[in-house]
Amino acid sequence: MRKNSLIPRVNANCATCSLRELCLPLGLNEHEIILLDKLVSHKCKIQRGEFLHRAGLRFQSLYAIRRGFFKTCILEKDGRQQVTGFYMTGELLGLDAISTETYNCDTVALEDSEVCEVPFAKLEEMSRNIPTLMHHFHKIMSREIVKDHGVMMLLGSMRAEERLAAFLLNLSRRFVKRGYSASDFILRMTREEIGSYLGLKFETVSRAFSRLQDENIISVNNKHVSIHDMDRLRSKVGNS
Amino acid sequence: MRKNSLIPRVNANCATCSLRELCLPLGLNEHEIILLDKLVSHKCKIQRGEFLHRAGLRFQSLYAIRRGFFKTCILEKDGRQQVTGFYMTGELLGLDAISTETYNCDTVALEDSEVCEVPFAKLEEMSRNIPTLMHHFHKIMSREIVKDHGVMMLLGSMRAEERLAAFLLNLSRRFVKRGYSASDFILRMTREEIGSYLGLKFETVSRAFSRLQDENIISVNNKHVSIHDMDRLRSKVGNS
DNA sequence: TAAAAGCCTTGATTCAGATCAATTCATAGG
DNA sequence: CCTATGAATTGATCTGAATCAAGGCTTTTA
């Protein structure tokens, strides 16, 4: 977290958090959750457009998203920017920073958000005594790797429309897990950010949206997306 | 590891292994290394072209590469294949399998190789008592994530020649770490496998090689690559 | 040692997506 | 509330990489 302590903090509380089955505490018993609660002592609010942290800052903590939506991106020296991920509630930010002890990417809130700070050294210390916690943490890291391999597949071998279809299906699945509609949601990111993530220019993203709409598979109204035909959307992926 | 036990096994020995500073034991003291040795009790040889494991097999162990070279790839249902990584000595295979408890990718030896089996449950157990080991393992996983983000950047925003240049520089760096020449090496993979990894067709890879050669930056003779002008090769990356 | 199979290179052509450009639409700020 | 700024759409054109095709080289194996 930035030194700038204008960012408000309040107590976190895993035991009563509705996200606990999506988040770090998965599988812990009552007693263990109380221990974890001591570790995750601070929540902090990040306004839309603000940085949780910038690349280069020294790594201390992971952040679990309690509310809101983030993007992470890396910046090449020549100015090119690549969005490396979009993160929603219950997901962990900062896993890439463990290796270098420095955050490797800029992390920006795409809507008003709130994160729980997880001091990493303490997490490691605690996980020595809570094998379930350790194991689940390993699964979370491994899942990140699997996710990235999926994106590599997408970037390496899919065409524009396929990429967008895969992207929408991925968002949909994650919304469902959180109790939201599978077929009706608001995009938090711009066409340009989607394009960066999918390896496309924003005009191409826009055209791909329009084409899916013309085929009556989805409808798009600016940031509002409705999926009308989930099966045909699915068949767009991996059929080319 | 496959049940098929024709694959020969011999005792491993981290304490005397020349790769130990690249591999899992990094930072451990003499006593701790001896403990780790008990855990990593089996080595096993894999001939060129053979699978270490296939996607779908139940996950039990990570594998540290003692000798040789591997590729990992995932297969889409429509038959498309994507190479997700190339791995050399001292690197860990199987990190992606922790999340699903099933190997997610096919892992194939690209030359005669030897791996050390690391039973994962035992590694977790042991790392409870050896904080250095736990921390280093976390760094290794995190490094994998950072590496994947780099590949996403490459796939998302670089052009063919840039991608190949970045790829060669990456190989070069890894060879140096292992005591080999930075500028002179043998590729273990085909043009098609390079292409799959870089999101290009093999003809494009071949042309990119030829162009770098025409510019006297490298010379290529089939699988043998010599880098003549490291600076110009570097300037190919991130200058477009 | 020859034949076969796979791998690599290079040329010609095509095409998906990038780029350039013009408008419209939405949101934020004065 | 209106204006300004950024976001999105859509069209026209261009281009880098894919595709199609042919031939040479290497490695394997019979």
The domain that holds B223 is classified in CATH as 1.10.10.10
CA separation for the pair B28, B32 (Å, rounded): 6
**Please, which residues have CB within 8 angstroms of residue A64's CB and are 6 or more apart in sequence?**
A19, A23, A24, A40, A90, A91, A92, A93, A115, A116, A118
Q: Does A95 touch chain B (CB under 8 A)?
A: yes
**A 181-220 residues inside an 8 A Cβ radius of B:** 196-199
* CA A46, chain centre distance (Å): 15
Domain that holds residue B17: 9-153
ipTM summary value: 0.94
For residues A88 and A30, membership in a common domain is answered with: yes
Does a structural domain hold residue B119?
A: yes
For residues B43 and B136, membership in a common domain is answered with: yes
For residues A101 and A144, membership in a common domain is answered with: yes
CA distance B162 to chain A (A): 13
**Average pLDDT over chain B, rounded to an integer:** 93
Q: What is the mean pLDDT of residues A110-116?
A: 96
What is the sign of the dihedral through the CA atoms of B54, A151, A143 and B63?
Answer: positive
Nearest nucleotide (CA of B200 to C1'): D17
Residue A142's Cβ-side half-sphere holds a number of Cα atoms within 13 Å equal to 23
Does a structural domain hold residue B120?
A: yes
Last residue of a domain, one of B120, B153, B186: B153
Q: What is the CATH number of the domain that holds A22?
A: 2.60.120.10
Residues B141 and A145: beta-carbon distance below 8 Å: yes
The gap between the terminal CA atoms of chain B, to the nearest Å, is 44
CA separation for the pair A94, B144 (Å, rounded): 13
By residue count, chain A amounts to 240
Q: Does B138 touch chain A (CB under 8 A)?
A: yes
Strand C positions within 7 A of protein Cβ atoms: 7-12, 16-21, 25-27
Q: Does A135 touch chain B (CB under 8 A)?
A: yes
Last residue of a domain, one of A153, A179, A200: A153
For residues A127 and A222, membership in a common domain is answered with: no
- Confidence bin at B240 (pLDDT 50/70/90): low
* CA B151, chain centre distance (Å): 13
**Average pLDDT over chain A, rounded to an integer:** 93
Does a structural domain hold residue B3?
A: no
Does a structural domain hold residue A107?
A: yes
- Amino acid identity, residue B78? D
Split into its structural domains, chain A has a count of 2
Give the H or E element holding residue A61: strand A61-67
pLDDT for the residue B11 = 56
Does a structural domain hold residue A68?
A: yes
Does a structural domain hold residue A1?
A: no
Does a structural domain hold residue B4?
A: no
Last residue of a domain, one of B125, B153, B181: B153
Contacts of B141 in chain A (CB under 8 A): 95, 98, 138, 141-142, 145
For residues B139 and B167, membership in a common domain is answered with: no
Q: Does B235 touch chain A (CB under 8 A)?
A: no
For residues A126 and A165, membership in a common domain is answered with: no
Q: What is the mean pLDDT of residues A25-43?
A: 93
**Where is average pLDDT lowest: A111-115, B10-14, B186-190?**
B10-14
Minimum-distance CB partner of B142 among A82, A95, A151? A95
- Confidence bin at A11 (pLDDT 50/70/90): low
Minimum-distance CB partner of A148 among B97, B98, B148? B148
Does a structural domain hold residue A3?
A: no
